[in-house]
Amino acid sequence: MRPAALVTGSAQGIGRALLLMLAKRGHDVLVHYRSSADEAEAVAERARAHGVQAATLQADVTDEAAAHGLVDDAARRFGRLDVVINNVGNYDKGPLEAFASDAWHEMFDSNLHATFYVCQRAAPILRASPRGRIVNVGYAGADTLVAKPGIVGYQIAKTGVLLYSRALAKREAPHGTTVNVVAPGVIENSVTQPVEEIPMGRPGTLDEMAAAVSFLVSDEARYVTGAFLPVAGGWNL
């Protein structure tokens, strides 16, 4: 039986790359979207070309009930759930003095709260899987606690994702489910491209992000949990 994977925010960008990697690895996949229905169906079609099942699911995962419903729908669609990747998370950059409270709350809702809602619902379901995997998308540098005034809401939310993921990893370890964080730096589709700050001198590729996640969901990584894996070319070290 093929494993089944849910990737949030997988109609485009990093989420799409991760989902198509899982399809190529032989996972049945669930393409989650909030408003990009056509793009989600196009991704599902590309996934099916790898000989797996693919379905699209709509939800606003910043809403707790909707996030829980998404996980329940995902588990019902293929009768199982083995891998959950939390990729949803908006980005905001600007002067700290101009950072409005609505933007502050949005950073936490989309990055931290959505991850929490999905994981809390998914973790008990994944205990039934012999290969339960959760991978949360973080931010390279979230473990350094170095002030970044221009992205403070995003940075704090992603640091929260890291701390929550490690707590969840400890809780789920006895059940065999691993929980890890993959942390992109500047990637080819990033909103900002400060290449001069990257020791390797270039942005990362979506394929490189997918390769890191591919390892974390593999059987070879069954003893890896609570890890923080930057994919950043030395950025923020």
Catalytic positions are 154
Q: Which of 106, 202, 208, 193 is nearest to 157 (CA)?
A: 106
Q: How many residues does the chain have?
A: 237
The rounded distance, in Å, linking the Cα atoms of 116 and 20 is: 24
SS3 state of residue 7: strand
Give 100: exposed, middle or buried? Use CB within 10 Å, 0-12, 13-18, 19+. exposed
Is residue 135 within 8 A of residue 181, CB to CB? The reply is yes
The rounded distance, in Å, linking the Cα atoms of 78 and 3 is: 9
DSSP-assigned letters across all residues of 139-193:
-TTTTT----GGGHHHHHHHHHHHHHHHHHHHHHGGGT-EEEEEEE-SBTT-S--
Is residue 74 within 8 A of residue 81, CB to CB? The reply is yes
Cα-based torsion angle of the residue sequence 183, 204, 148, 90 in order, rounded to the nearest 10 degrees:
-70
The rounded distance, in Å, linking the Cα atoms of 209 and 42 is: 21
* CA terminus-to-terminus distance, the chain: 41
